Each structure stands twice: as structure tokens, then as C-alpha cells.
Amino acid sequence: MNYSTWMLAFSLLISCWATNLSAYDFTPSGATTLAPNKAQESSILSEPILPIPLHVEVDQGKVALGLRLFEDKGLSSDGSMACRSCHLFNKGGGDGEVLSPSIDGGERATNTPTIFNVGLYSLYGWLGMSNTLEGLSEAIIKSKKGLANDWPAIIPYLQGDSNYVRQFSASYPDGINVNNVKDAMAEYMRSLITPNSRFDRYLRGEEMVLTKEEFGGYQLFKSYGCASCHQGELLGGNMFASNNLFREFFIEEGQSVKMDVGRYKKTKDENDRYVFRVPSLRNIALTAPYFHDGSVESLEDAVDLMGIYMLGRKIPEAHQALIVKFLNTLTGEFKGEPL
């Protein structure tokens, strides 16, 4: 959808949802079921949010190779950083910093987004400038704020390591080359799903898994219109939105990083000024601080600002607290263990 079509769809959605706030209550509404596509998914509730699949099909050899590449500092220009340096499992898949560190020690660019569930996005990066994992990884490898390296240095480095040579030829008939490096890294990242959050268990029809307040928070999330942008399996990651919808976000909050201008930074199209990819809200309780500039510490404040700038209304504190309770149910499991 282009931006203007999106704006139209958005205003229609808001006018439907925002008028219906007093109607929310804490009892589950008459849930209907979707047409079953897989036996195990057959009882998923019909909601704007879908559960993360319980399993993904990945090639374990490529995943092991991708993991090794992801953790290898030898892929960075000065040997100081690996992909893992900024995407840590004990920090919700990000780094817990306000802004991501820069390899050259220079100006920091943006907050580091989570690496969990990235196989399920259709747009990558805060500006949604790539729509494949392979494309995004290449951009980060080459970026001065990423690994600051390039293929003419990386490929000979890998060819000089007999373990890499063996691992690549076991998974790829043509061995080590640029496409296979990107493919193995992407396969590893696709394996990083976090299914089975309490909210997903609710969506799969499990009873009594949410408290009354958490359920109430979800009803508010829908009735305020949050789900018009934060929807699908990841509650985001699949559309663009402007931070400037109802008020002048960056004029009022102050400009902090170069990316504040949104997609305009890359496209130089005025329609893209202040336009960002809607981020996922999966595991959001673990990935503070929030927003592309890491400017917000608490989920309560993030919800408050979303109300003001995206929905044009002040959300009362009691409602903010319930919405946060709902957001806390979105923390999933990684390899069967709670995150």
C-alpha cells in the first residue's frame, strides 16, 4: 500500500474504532474461528493479531553455519564487532542501549531493534528500506555504523578458514560465496522465533490464560486503534506510518538523531518525511528503551506518546496501565524456555 492509500485506510479505521471506546468490557467477546490451514492451528481466534507459528522449517546445517557467522568478529573491518555484539539474547534481541554503538566510536545512529522473529517481517529496519533479510544483512555488513566491511575482505577471510570451507561445502554445492554467506545468516535469523507467549496461547483458544486486566488491556488496544498499525503475527513489521499524524512529534519532543526525518532520509521524497516502519511489539517488555531514537524508557510513556501522536488523544493513565499489562503478555519462549 502506498502512503496516501494507507492514510485513507487509517482514518477510516480510526473513525470506526475510536468511537467505540465505552463499549469495551472485560469479558471475552464471541470468538469465531478461522478456516483451519494446519491441524495444529485450527482453533485460532479471529483477531487482528495472529500467533507466531510454533515451528519454522529451517535447514539445521545452514542455521549452525549462520550462527557461527553471526558471532564471528572476523567479519567486521577491525575485528572488534560481530552481529551478536548488538543483538543479545539476554537483552530481548537488542542491546539495551539508548542508541546502538558505532564501530568507529562516532555518532550513534539509532536504537537497536530486536533480532527475534525477524524472519516474519516484510519490511526491515526503522525506515523499512529493505524487504529481505539478505538485503538488510548486506547493508549492515557494509554500513559504517554496522560491521564497516565489504565482500572483497570477507570472502578471502572465510576461504582461509578450513572449518568454514568444510561447513559451507556441506550445505552449499558451490561453497563459499556472497549469496551463500547471506543465505546462511538469513537461515539462522529465521530460526529465532519466540512462540507460545501467553497472548498466543489465548489466541489458540486456551482458556483462563489471561487475567481480566490483561484481557481488558487488549480490548483497549483494539478500541483505541493501536491494532490498525500494530497487527498480524508480530503486531507490526509490515507497514509504514507517520509519526506526525496528529501533531508535530519532532518539533514538540525535540530532534535527537538524523533518522528523525524518517524515510525522507533515504528517499528525499516529502511524502516520506517522518514516515517509519511500524515496529513489532513482540517481547516488547524486554526491549526498553523504546522508539527509533531510544528516547522513551517506560512502556507507559510509550503508550502515552502513541496516543497523543498516532491517535490524537490523551489516553487516561488507568487505560495506559491496562494496555501495558496486555503488552506484557506478548513475551514468548525461545527454544521452549521463557525469554
- List interacting residues with ligand HEC (CB under 6 A): 10, 81, 83, 85-87, 100-101, 109-110, 112-113, 115, 118, 121, 124-127, 133, 136-137, 140-141, 146-147, 185, 189, 221, 224-226, 228-230, 241, 243, 245, 276, 278-279, 281, 284, 287, 290-292, 299, 302-303, 306-307, 310-311, 315, 323
Residues 296 and 309: beta-carbon distance below 8 Å: no
Residue type, 49: I
Of residues 121 and 215, the one with the C-beta less far from ligand HEC: 121
Place of cell 488491556: 217
Residue 101's region, left for phi above 0, alpha for psi from -120 to 50, else beta, is beta
User: Smallest Cα–Cα separation from 26: which of 214, 222, 224?
Assistant: 214
Of residues 41 and 119, the one with the C-beta less far from ligand HEC: 119
Alpha-carbon gap, residue 197 to 52, rounded angstroms: 9
The minimum distance between CB 216 and ligand HEC, in angstroms, equals 14
Residues 243 and 262: beta-carbon distance below 8 Å: yes
Alpha-carbon gap, residue 68 to 2, rounded angstroms: 38
Of residues 34 and 178, the one with the C-beta less far from ligand HEC: 178
Residue type, 59: D
Alpha-carbon gap, residue 217 to 315, rounded angstroms: 12
The minimum distance between CB 146 and ligand HEC, in angstroms, equals 5
Of residues 43 and 267, the one with the C-beta less far from ligand HEC: 267
Residue type, 65: L
The minimum distance between CB 248 and ligand HEC, in angstroms, equals 13
The minimum distance between CB 304 and ligand HEC, in angstroms, equals 9
The minimum distance between CB 309 and ligand HEC, in angstroms, equals 9
The minimum distance between CB 150 and ligand HEC, in angstroms, equals 12
The set of residues, in sequence order, having a beta carbon less than 8 Å from that of 321 and lying 6+ positions away, is 300
Of residues 40 and 179, the one with the C-beta less far from ligand HEC: 179
Alpha-carbon gap, residue 29 to 17, rounded angstroms: 16
Of residues 125 and 216, the one with the C-beta less far from ligand HEC: 125
Residues 44 and 50: beta-carbon distance below 8 Å: yes
Of residues 206 and 269, the one with the C-beta less far from ligand HEC: 269
The minimum distance between CB 49 and ligand HEC, in angstroms, equals 12
Place of cell 481488558: 216
The minimum distance between CB 295 and ligand HEC, in angstroms, equals 8
Of residues 203 and 235, the one with the C-beta less far from ligand HEC: 235
Of residues 44 and 123, the one with the C-beta less far from ligand HEC: 123
Residue type, 117: N
Alpha-carbon gap, residue 117 to 200, rounded angstroms: 14
Residues 290 and 299: beta-carbon distance below 8 Å: yes
The C-alpha cell that represents 150 in the structure block: 565489504
The minimum distance between CB 145 and ligand HEC, in angstroms, equals 6
